[in-house]
Each structure stands twice: as C-alpha cells, then as structure tokens.
C-alpha cells in the first residue's frame, strides 16, 4: 500500500461489529463507539424498537387469554 495522508490505524484497530451477516459470516464493519454493533446492525442512534412497542398489538390472537380460551373450547 502507498503512503496515506490520513491515519488509518484507529479504524483498523477498532472493535468490530458482533452481528452475523445473512451469509453466516461475521460483520467486518467497526462498531459504533460505546456499542457492540455497527451503524447498519443497530448501533446507530435511534435504532431499535420504540419503548412500549404497539406494533405487536394487532389482533390479540396470540395473547395468553385467547390461547386459554381456544384450549377450553377444544376440551
């Protein structure tokens, strides 16, 4: 390699992302400072599910009460 004007050793020596890619290999991107994942695998600010995720509450089909009701109906 030629002589780089910028200092690349911090980038090369930084901690790597702990995620696994779809091909099954480890992600080689550097982790976000203070996190264990890179910006593409959830280390970016604001990533992840919102607190009190309401997306999971769609129809109530899989609630504990609904499952018990169906079991009682079959019995």
Each residue of 16-53: pLDDT tens digit? Answer: 998 998 899 999 889 888 888 988 888 888 777 677 76
What's the domain range around 21? 7-44
Q: Is the pLDDT of residue 11 over 60?
A: yes
Q: 72 lies in a domain?
A: no
Task: Decide if 36 is inside a domain.
Answer: yes
Residue 67's pLDDT is 92
Residue 71's pLDDT band (cuts 50, 70, 90) = very high
Q: What is the distance between the alpha carbons of residues 14 and 37, in angstroms, rounded to a whole number? A: 12
Region of residue 49 (phi > 0: left; psi between -120 and 50: alpha; otherwise: beta) = beta
- For residue 69, what pLDDT band results from cuts at 50, 70 and 90? very high
pLDDT at 56: 63
Number of structural domains (the chain) is 1
> 11 lies in a domain?
yes
């Amino acid at each position: 390699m030629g002589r780089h004007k910028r200092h690349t050793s911090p980038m090369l020596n930084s901690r790597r992302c702990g995620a696994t890619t779809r091909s099954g290999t480890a992600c080689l991107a550097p982790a976000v400072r203070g996190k264990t994942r890179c910006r593409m695998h959830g280390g970016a600010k604001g990533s992840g599910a919102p607190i009190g995720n309401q997306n999971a509450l769609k129809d109530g089909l899989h609630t504990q009460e609904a499952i018990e009701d169906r079991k009682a109906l079959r019995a």
